């Protein structure tokens, strides 16, 4: 069974849960920006939760099916059509051999996950099918999908139509979106006023936000505590002697525009990081459109771990719902 790509959309890529264990070598985890939505899509069609799906951003692809399969689309609200007939999101449906899956204009959110029964079975690279274009790893020859590509799938029929994730479990960002942040090792570099201002101000997603990092604009510039820059650090007060970055860490080059590092992030560099978005909220970032309003909310480690537990609980409830 293959999926014939008639129109790829914009930077639509094959993603799973990523390649673990290479970040120290500079190769990022990669994988779905919204892992929750990817897992849910796979559960709906009866795949392993980490099976490879298509991640499409802002625009849907157009795909012809060569065999009948169960399909589910989760994440952003992007009206789904099979041969022109609308289908429900977060709910499994059947696409028959010869039919075409397509999408209307985006209504809310940013990324959809298209799971197909049997999963996409392009070759793995370093243990994952996730596409990392900068490193030319995974996906189709290390790149986003293109018109004319034929993607192999596992070919199973799946669990059929009508399996659905209930509304409260369809996780999406609020308005404004709230991202919880755990202050980090370099927090002391900020003045008290700047630290408070970061959490008070409303920020907007910058249009250049992508899989490597989400940039935010519109808050007040950060003021730094005076110091003599250490040997090896650049002259700008936002510079440090090179250090490691974590997923979700927030760097602020020049103190002006915070960047939250995401799935395809670099693993280290010379910018201070004021803290990190907690793991439970990383998926929400993947659903933010440009110009969306965002507030950062300060939390401590106990709250971050509680949020992680809560998110795991939501996934467990989806598993129960779908049996």
Partner 1 sequence: MAQVLSPLPGTFYMKPSPEAALYKNPGDPVAIGDTIGLIEVMKTFIEVKAEFAGTFSAYRAEDGLPVTAGQALAEVVV
Q: Which residues bind partner 1 (CB under 8 A)?
A: 10-11, 57-59, 104-107, 207-210, 289-291
Q: Least distance in Å: CB of 235 to partner 1?
A: 26
10 or 196, CB closer to partner 1?
10
50 or 219, CB closer to partner 1?
219
CA distance 34 to 18: 12
CA distance 120 to 173: 28
Q: Least distance in Å: CB of 134 to partner 1?
A: 12
208 or 300, CB closer to partner 1?
208
Nearest one of 24, 28, 75 to 261, comparing CA atoms: 28
Structure tokens at 207: 């249009």
Q: What is the secondary structure of 43-102 as a DSSP string?
A: HHHT--TT--EEEEESS--EEEESS-EEEEEEEEE--EEETTEEE-TTB-EEE-TT-EEE
Contact in structure between 68 and 74 (CB atoms under 8 Å)? no
58 or 296, CB closer to partner 1?
58
Question: Whats the size of the chain, residue-wise?
Answer: 323
H or E segment to which residue 204 belongs:
strand 203-205
Q: In Å, what is the CA distance from 77 to each residue of 80, 103, 111, 255, 311? A: 9, 10, 8, 34, 21
42 or 289, CB closer to partner 1?
289
Contact in structure between 287 and 38 (CB atoms under 8 Å)? no
Q: Least distance in Å: CB of 104 to partner 1?
A: 8
Q: Least distance in Å: CB of 316 to partner 1?
A: 33
107 or 166, CB closer to partner 1?
107
Q: Least distance in Å: CB of 123 to partner 1?
A: 26
Nearest one of 224, 239, 243, 218 to 296, comparing CA atoms: 218
Contact in structure between 241 and 185 (CB atoms under 8 Å)? no
Q: Least distance in Å: CB of 243 to partner 1?
A: 25
H or E segment to which residue 311 belongs:
helix 301-322
Q: Least distance in Å: CB of 79 to partner 1?
A: 10
CA distance 295 to 29: 26
Strand bridging mode 249-251 / 259-261? antiparallel
DSSP 8-state symbol, 314: H
Q: Least distance in Å: CB of 100 to partner 1?
A: 18
181 or 260, CB closer to partner 1?
260
108 or 166, CB closer to partner 1?
108
* 254 φ/ψ angles, rounded to the nearest 5 degrees: 70, 0
């Amino acid at each position: 069974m293959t999926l014939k790509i008639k129109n790829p959309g914009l930077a639509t890529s094959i993603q799973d849960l990523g390649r673990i264990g290479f970040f120290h070598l500079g190769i990022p985890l990669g994988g779905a920006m919204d892992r929750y939505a990817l897992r849910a899509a796979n559960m709906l069609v009866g795949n392993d939760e980490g099976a490879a799906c298509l991640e499409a951003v802002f625009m849907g692809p157009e795909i012809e099916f060569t065999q009948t399969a169960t399909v589910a689309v989760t994440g952003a609200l992007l009206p789904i059509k099979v041969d022109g007939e609308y289908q429900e999101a977060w709910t499994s449906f059947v696409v028959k051999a010869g039919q075409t899956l397509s999408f209307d204009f985006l209504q809310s959110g940013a990324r959809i996950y298209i799971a197909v029964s049997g999963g996409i079975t392009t070759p793995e690279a370093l243990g994952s099918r996730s596409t990392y274009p900068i490193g030319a790893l995974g996906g189709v020859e290390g790149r986003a999908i293109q018109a004319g590509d034929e993607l192999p799938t596992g070919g199973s029929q799946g669990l059929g139509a009508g399996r659905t994730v209930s509304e409260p479990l369809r996780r999406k960002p609020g308005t404004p979106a709230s991202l919880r942040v755990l202050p980090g090792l370099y927090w002391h570099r900020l003045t008290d006023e700047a630290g408070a201002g970061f959490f008070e101000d409303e920020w907007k997603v910058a249009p250049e936000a992508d899989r490597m990092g989400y940039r935010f604009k519109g808050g007040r510039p950060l003021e730094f505590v005076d110091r003599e820059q250490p040997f090896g650090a650049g002259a700008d007060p936002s510079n440090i002697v090179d250090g490691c970055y974590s997923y979700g860490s927030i760097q602020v080059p020049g103190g002006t525009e915070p960047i939250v590092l995401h799935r395809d992030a670099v693993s280290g560099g010379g910018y201070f990081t004021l803290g990190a978005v907690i793991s439970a909220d990383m998926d929400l970032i993947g659903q933010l459109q440009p110009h969306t309003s965002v507030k950062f909310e300060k939390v401590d480690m106990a709250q971050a771990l509680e949020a992680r537990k809560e998110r795991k609980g939501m996934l467990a409830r989806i598993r129960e719902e779908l049996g």
